[in-house]
Amino acid sequence: MGWLRWMRRWIGWRGSLIPSPSPGGGREPEPLSPRERGGGEGAARALAITLATFMSAPVQAADTLYLYNWNNYISDATVTRFEAECGCQVVRDYYSDNEEMLAKLAAGASGYDLVVPTGYAVEALLRSKQLRPIDTARLGNFRNLKPEFLGAFFDPGNRYSVPYAYTITLLGYNSRKLEELGLPTDTWALIFEPKYLEKLKGRVTVLDSQRELIGAAMKYLGYSVNDSDERKWKQARDLILRAKPYWAAFNASSYIKELTLGNIWVAHGYSNDMFQANADAVKARRGFNIAASIPKEGAVLALDSMVLHKTGRHPELALRFINFMLRGENSAELTNLIGSGNPNRAATSHIRPDIAADPAIFPDRAALGRLEMLRDLDRRSRRVLNRVWTEIKLR
């Protein structure tokens, strides 16, 4: 539901137009709070910064970095520090969905130096020849990256992309409720098997995403998430249809709130969202925690990478930014803020110990081996899957 987040951002943007931003930059770093990627304030800031930039564009155009990133996917403190270090300005623009970003770039948006897409979107940008090669030999901190996150399918030699952060699609749950009910939490069976779901009727939400939900079902059935065999998809469909009467909703944005309120006990969603739901539940003294676990059958890994867009006019500055972000303390700041996975070895010592020890954010080698990244499907398979999905939604 990218459009929803977009609309929410838009509302936030309208709401904050009245207190006019001071042109020229001098902005105070806000106190950091864990927010979901779709936060509204970020956009208001982006607008403020954009306005400020337009006003002073002739002077500062040469040393301005245009960053096109996920909502709430970088700490403000990190940006401020980079600006101080390079004597430049960072202009941020946001997206809440890979599709939204691809569509905007396809429609001719230009001038972004740096974009942070997920794997299959990197592949799409690469294959449509929109990326500039990155000379990793010039990045002193490139060696900080963990080797298991290098050479991913979309860019085997890391000639165009540098890993930034990752999230895992997993199960988040109300730890007190699940303990009371005595249900297992380390398997997809929790959301697919009626024998468990009977105790959870109306208390489960799943992602409103074809690839993610069918991917989870495929994993539970023992297949690859990228298998495009229609027979296997139909098996996944039948599995989902059997479980569907027990689910409350297909949900892409409000499960964080519903988990925090205690309305929903199990949610299929992203690891950083579960991190936020837990932080909110703790802050509101709900008396329970939102825990997350990677099902033992395996799950989807989304690795976001920094790439240079061809239309960007400041590739040198962008390289400098990449190298800056690869420094342990800078990379760790994001993980401490939103609970994203971190592919950077040097970051580990700067990450809050409770996050660093969380196996749902930093899975061990065996669990990591069971994670898979989504690949783009060709258009015929997309249509077959589309029909399977529509059937799932309708029945």
Partner 1 sequence: MRGTLFETDKFPPPPLCKRGEKGTRWAITAPPTLFLLAFFLAPALIVVLASFQYPGEFGGLAPLLDAGDGREHGLTLENYQFFFSDFLFTEILLRSFLVAAASTLICLLLAYPVAWLIAKSPRQHRDFLVLLVILPFASNFLIRVYAWMIILGPQAALARLLNGVLGAFGLEPVSLLFSPFAVLVGMVYVHLPFMILPLYTNLEKHDPVLLDAAQDLGANAWQRFWRVTWPLSLPGVFSGSALVFIPVLGMFAIPDILGGTRDMLIGNLIKDQFLGVRDWPFGATLSIVLTLCVLSLAGLAAWAGRRRRGEQ
Q: Which residues bind partner 1 (CB under 8 A)?
A: 1-4, 7-8, 11, 97, 99-100, 102-103, 106, 124, 127-128, 202, 208-210, 244-245, 247-250, 254, 261-263, 376, 378-379, 382-383, 385-387, 389-391, 393-395
Q: Smallest distance, Å, CB 172 to partner 1?
A: 18
**Residues 305 and 162 sit within 8 Å (Cβ to Cβ):** yes
244, 392 contact by CB (below 8 A) = yes
- Residues 224/225/231/233 CA torsion (nearest 10 deg): 150
Residue placing its CB nearer to partner 1 in the complex, 146 or 244: 244
> Based on CB atoms, which residue is closest to partner 1, 73 or 95?
95
Residue 53 Rama label (left phi>0; alpha psi -120 to 50; beta): alpha
- In the bound complex, what is the minimum distance in angstroms from residue 101's beta carbon to partner 1? 11
49 versus 373: smaller Cβ distance to partner 1: 373
Q: Which is nearer to partner 1, 242 or 352 (CB)?
A: 242
First-to-last alpha carbon distance for the chain, in angstroms, is 21
Q: Which of 136, 138, 140, 173 is nearest to 158 (CA)?
A: 136
Q: Read off the amino acid at residue 63.
A: D
Q: How far is the CB of 103 from partner 1 (least distance, A)?
A: 7
Nearer to partner 1, 4 or 356 (CB): 4
**Shortest reach from residue 386's CB to partner 1, in Å:** 5
User: Given the structure tokens 């749950």, which residue do they identify?
Assistant: 173
Residues linked to residue 170 through DSSP beta bridges, in sequence order: 269
Q: Which is nearer to partner 1, 25 or 262 (by Cβ)? A: 262
Q: How far is the CB of 340 from partner 1 (least distance, A)?
A: 23
Question: Tokens standing for 138?
Answer: 């010039």
What is the C-alpha to C-alpha distance for residues 169 and 283, in angstroms, rounded to an integer?
24
Give the residue with the Cβ less far from partner 1, 206 or 334.
206
* Cβ pair 296, 187 in contact under 8 A: yes
Nearer to partner 1, 203 or 327 (CB): 203
How many Cα atoms occupy the beta-carbon half-sphere of 249 within 13 Å? Answer: 9
Shortest distance, position 359 Cβ to partner 1, whole Å = 30
Closest approach, Cβ 166 to partner 1, in A, equals 22
| CB-CB contact of 272 with 255 (8 Å) | no
Concatenated DSSP letters for 355-391? HHT-TTTS--HHHHHTEE---PPPHHHHHHHHHHHHH
Residue 339 CB, shortest distance to partner 1, in Å, is 25
